A and B are shown apart, each in its own frame.
Chain A
Amino acid sequence: MKKIVVRKAGTVRLTSAAT
């Protein structure tokens, strides 16, 4: 049986230092 491997896509968090 062929298993289809699906990977989780990365997340995107764009930042700025608080001070």
Chain B
Amino acid sequence: MDAAAVDLDRPLRLYPLTFLEEGDEVTVGRADIDSYGLFPADGAALLRRLETGETPNDAARWYNTQYGETVDMVEFLEVLEAFELLVPDGEEVVEAGAVRWQRLGRALFSPVAWVLYGLLFIAGIVAMFREPAVVPTYHNIFFTSSSLVALALGNVLGQAPWILLHESYHALAGRRLGLNSSLSIGRRFYYVVFLTKLDGLVAVPRRKRYLPMLAGMLVDVLVVTGLTLAAVPLVSSDGFAGFMGRFLLAMAFGTLLRFAWQFYFFLRTDLYYLATTVLGCNDLQTVAKGMLQNRLYGLIGRRDKIVDAETWTPRDREVARWYVWLMVTGYAVLTGLLITAVVPAAIRITEMAVRKLFSDISPLNVLDVTVFLILNFGELILAGILAVRGYRRRTPATAS
């Protein structure tokens, strides 16, 4: 559909839209494809006129009467088209069904569930006070001394079910509100992360966004206390029971590390979204990065590269002025960790692996060393691959 070629004396067809009024702006969009725009109040009012079946010309006349200005209707229709709000000719609107798992989402955050969560948390804390052997400590990572590969394998794979549970809780808290979600793998600096896409949250009132954002960390706390409780009767045993007790505590400590990782808010973790919601921001990280890039381009005289600050919301600009320094400091600290801890560790691990490899060239030993290297470097290498792919996507080769 070409907005310029639209007959302005015929009503337009629009997809079912959601409107959320917040201060001077109205978030309008399609929940079925998660396409949302921040409209000024007059723009949202104009869109509502079109939605009721008024022709664009009639709506423009109404705008002129209401606001005393002539609106650029063709340009407005181009905006609506860019957000995919207009139904193209010959296409039918399919009614979106209810999202799946909504009932489970409601059950998991019902009053009964909250009571159970509270009891589990209290029981776990009491167990830690009564049984010092189950208190989370980094020693718990070393649940076996039989093999380094088994140790690394247990610590890496032992997190998989709890990571999926963390993401499922985000998704189900979203489903409870009727929002779509999807799971993917992504990267935050040099960390590989699992991501739950919940763009529909921008269309619900802010106070309803907190639970879906915090649901993952809530379940992390419950996993730590639950695993600790389960380990209590096992840790003092010998043999397999004792091993299982130690493994449960290793998984609990791993979960605690992932919980702590959420405080790296500048990597756009769950706590970043919580903070930006409280602060009333829209897309703070993008604006902070844009501001930094504008400053750098200004310094090197590349004025053509500078992004127009008007494309950012006033609140984002206001907060980004001080947030940008927090973000830069955060990345600097993580870069420092990379240079002083991750790289030296990687060198030492490689040295150990090479020495072990040449001490015994049997197939079993080669396999042992290979698995060990994959477990230690797999995530870093995957983060590197994702970074290169992301960079290539952002800078497509220009045709010569």
Contact = CB atoms under 8 A, between A and B. Distances in A.
Interface residues of B, number: 65
Given A2-B69, A6-B79, A7-B37, A15 B188 contact: yes
Contacts of A2: 63, 67, 69-72
Given A5-B310, A7-B37, A12 B199 contact: yes
A18 B322 CA distance: 30
B150 to A, nearest CB: 16
A4 B71 contact: yes
A7 B312 contact: yes
Contacts of A9: 27, 29, 36-38, 199, 202-203, 282-283
Interface stretch (B8-16, B103-111, B267-275, B350-358): B267-275
Nearest to B284: A10
Nearest to B187: A18
B201 interface: yes
Given A5-B310, A7-B313, A15 B193 contact: yes
Interface stretch (B115-123, B159-167, B224-232, B387-395): B159-167
Interface residues of A, number: 19
B49 interface: no
A12 B196 CA distance: 8
A16 B219 CA distance: 12
B39 A15 contact: no
Interface string B250-287: 00001001100100000111100100100001111010
Contact of A14 (B39, B79, B167, B312): B167
Nearest to A6: B37
B126 to A, nearest CB: 27
A18 B67 contact: no
A8 B201 CA distance: 14
Interface in B44-101: 46, 63, 67, 69-72, 75-76, 79, 83
A18 B72 contact: no
A10 B311 CA distance: 12
B30 to A, nearest CB: 11
B333 to A, nearest CB: 16
27 contacts: A1-B71, A2-B63, A2-B70, A2-B72, A4-B46, A4-B71, A5-B310, A7-B312, A7-B313, A9-B29, A9-B203, A11-B283, A12-B273, A13-B198, A13-B268, A14-B195, A14-B196, A15-B196, A15-B270, A16-B163, A16-B194, A17-B188, A17-B191, A17-B192, A17-B193, A18-B379, A19-B192
Interface of A: 1-19
Interface of B: 27, 29, 36-40, 42-43, 46, 63, 67, 69-72, 75-76, 79, 83, 155-156, 159, 163, 166-167, 170, 185-186, 188, 191-199, 201-203, 212-213, 216, 254, 257-258, 261, 267-270, 273, 276, 281-284, 286, 310-313, 379
